[in-house]
A and B are shown apart, each in its own frame.
Chain A
């Protein structure tokens, strides 16, 4: 959305509601995300027609139907590819992708990593419920090892992906994580993502009460969350509960604050050029969620793919009379005339 103008029309959350009846299961985390997005979108300062949401397939991917913007509910895993085509050809639009853990990381893994590597101007929201919701509860690439599901009755033997590590390994320039249940945090992350030029990858932990209830309970329950949830704040030392994060070996480590000198506590900076730092942050927790950072892990500047592509075309096409140029092209090289 390089050319998007922020002329701030005064729209409200309700202006972004479509006429379609929302059809997720009662209690699904997707409702909370939808409400957060609808009430955030006016902040973009864009007319509704300048916004396009593209999704794949899954419960989460029904999202575009419920927004009064342009929307495409496409096919399983391919939304980043389709969105790339739209973003490249339409700099006047703000293009968003909504995807699930199966959609983005399983069938669509290839498109996700390549969109991130290219740094296409896309905001990618991955609703991670660690399960295949729409197909009624099979394990996904983010399910924990040993998970019992319909397709793994004696426990899954799959090793999971860490979505943020994957995104960072794909050269992503903006990587963040947030929670469906924390609207203020969710919107803060969306704001930062929207401001970022290039691909913004946002993992949203989302509860699926039907097939994987309470998957993120550790991070939500008042009894456990203070010892598990790490709220990253740019420029602030990383501390949570009575713990802190320090450097250790090639990475980072959680320690009791009491055992650490204040000056050794890592100060969070999302604009650190070396992705190793954000990667180390992403490795603080695995599927067990014991030390889970949320917030913006990485936010750096790099030329975007779509602008690069457009610049080459715009420079070459400036002032060209296409019909005349076509005639010249056809007559280029060896030609001969028969009288």
Chain B
């Protein structure tokens, strides 16, 4: 009989060859875990190559999940459990594993040839190199093939189900229900019922292996987390972002137009939205990113909620058109799911190095609004904010997501439709001025005194025909103007319009009120910073924290917040871009950066150490 032990949290990493189906395995384990009511956070990590050479280190794909009986903020720094499907997966992931951690390893792949391929001179399962860990050698492939002997599937297909065997085993180890996965497999292989049944049998065989063999004496349970009451689902950042766009269409009452060109890690937004035509969402896969943003701007001019999604290299191509949108003063939402650059960089890895490009990466004085979601589920809310700003202020808005939150997942308490903001838009329909002869006329650049926005008069509106263009125009009439004084006025007016956007104040979390150091982040570092701050406070260290979701304009109390602390630490996955902006905009504060650009999110541990160091040294 196995004993059952209660745990409050665990971090598990599934690792294998890119062909081993580790992302699917991780997704299913996540769904089972979400269903049990644990809080969770996930980190997929996979190579850019679709099929890197099998069995090699560059071909390793992994999926990490952290789940707990309380709320958590990150996918975990170091896994406690590693599922290694081959020698490459063991070698690539071992250094991250916690000392004393558990390894479930697929022994079938530990052949001399495979070991040599990744540079193992000796079989690590046979020498003492793993003696600090609890190793469970399991011949996953041959057990799966044996379990499927009676099934009408080829040996190759049987072998390919070994990921489900592994999932069944780990599900048993952590007491996860598998019914939803069975239903999922039946749906996924609707047209190949034999394959579906084979996968389900492999899943069950894995579970039974845990239950019946002596190899696993202990089984674990992680009780549900005490989350706020409500209905939850698990969501990735890209899906939440796509749904936020859909919701923005509902909230504004406008048809949504998405122009996009495929690029990792943004393509899933295009994929998701192309399924949502029933919401009046039109998706156009353009010939390139310039056409994508161009078509979007054309649709915006015509009265749609125009959104274009891409990643760094594509955003660079859109730059000229975004400047046109600044000049035309039309709504335009641009989503940059940042990845490690420059150039192709590391397309499947995360980074935050496009902030300065978002701020300044255009010709002329071309200010735009900039927002950054702080977690996967926040992508939903941030898109509603982007839609509010773009339509109300008739301006481009850039949303800076990144690979970490785009592909990472967390439980999301579903919003009540009654709380969906009313963002309804009024197009201009009437003349808005009187000329010298006393006749009614339409001035396309007559501004709303409060927002400085110009009227949105869409083509088709009777009597309001007018011409807009990238050439400087006289304020009010919109006529071409090369007048020096007018140009200076227009440049300043466009800047004032952005600076004056209504954004909520920056909230500071300083429970004791005696902290001298503030840690200030933006975007996806929210989770790791939060975990680090929590750990420091548990040790009795005082530290204040705040997080910027609004990067341009920044919250109007930012200067006052910074001034309250002796030191401001800014962790960023770049070489100090927010640090630079803060120093330039709010001189006189002691702002220091903590910067790493490894293509991976910060670990909360490293942040904890870095922050403690700063606090100690004053």
A contact set with B: CB distance below 8 Å? 18, 20, 47-50, 52, 54, 57, 64-65, 67-75, 78, 81-90, 92-93, 110-111, 114, 309-310, 312-313, 315-317, 320, 322-327, 329-331, 333-339
Contacts and interface: CB of A to CB of B under 8 A. Distances in A.
A111 B480 CA distance: 27
Contacts of B460: 49-50, 70, 90, 92-93
B77 interface: no
Contact of B290 (A81, A83, A309, A338): A81
Given A85-B302, A110-B291, A72 B468 contact: yes
A331 B231 contact: yes
Contacts of A331: 231, 233, 414
Interface string B477-497: 001100000000000000000
B173 to A, nearest CB: 21
8 contacts: A52-B459, A70-B460, A71-B469, A81-B298, A85-B300, A93-B459, A313-B282, A323-B250
A86 B284 contact: no
B133 interface: no
Given A49-B460, A65-B467, A338-B230, A82 B295 contact: yes
Contacts of A78: 290-291, 294, 321
Contact of A70 (B230, B255, B415, B466): B466
B291 A317 contact: no
A88 B282 contact: yes
Which residue among B37, B255, B284, B298 has the maximum number of chain A CB atoms within 10 Å of its CB? B298
A70 to B, nearest CB: 4
Contacts of A335: 231-233, 414
A71 B468 contact: yes
A334 B302 CA distance: 38
A292 to B, nearest CB: 31
Interface string B160-185: 00000000000000000000100000
Given A49-B461, A309-B282, A85 B324 contact: no
Q: Rank and list the top 10 A-B pairs by shortest CB-CB distance, nearest first.
A: A73-B469, A85-B298, A85-B295, A81-B294, A316-B277, A70-B459, A81-B291, A71-B467, A82-B298, A85-B299
A64 B259 CA distance: 25
B462 interface: yes
Which residue among B227, B284, B420, B471 has the maximum number of chain A CB atoms within 10 Å of its CB? B284
B469 A111 contact: no
Nearest to A335: B233
Given A110-B288, A320-B279, A330-B415, A89 B294 contact: no
A227 B279 CA distance: 59
A279 B420 CA distance: 56
Given A47-B462, A114-B287, A337-B230, A325 B414 contact: no
Which residue among B249, B250, B255, B288 has the maximum number of chain A CB atoms within 10 Å of its CB? B250
Given A90-B302, A317-B277, A317-B279, A338 B250 contact: no
Interface of B: 31, 34-37, 180, 224, 227-234, 243, 246-247, 249-250, 255, 257, 259, 276-282, 284, 286-288, 290-292, 294-304, 306, 320-321, 324, 328, 414-415, 417, 420, 459-471, 479-480
Contact of B298 (A84, A309, A323, A326): A84
A69 B292 CA distance: 25
Contact of A313 (B250, B277, B302, B420): B277
Contacts of B231: 331, 335-338
Contacts of B466: 70-71
Contacts of B233: 330-331, 333-336
Which residue among B37, B288, B291, B304 has the maximum number of chain A CB atoms within 10 Å of its CB? B291
A83 B286 CA distance: 13
A81 to B, nearest CB: 3
Contacts of B464: 49
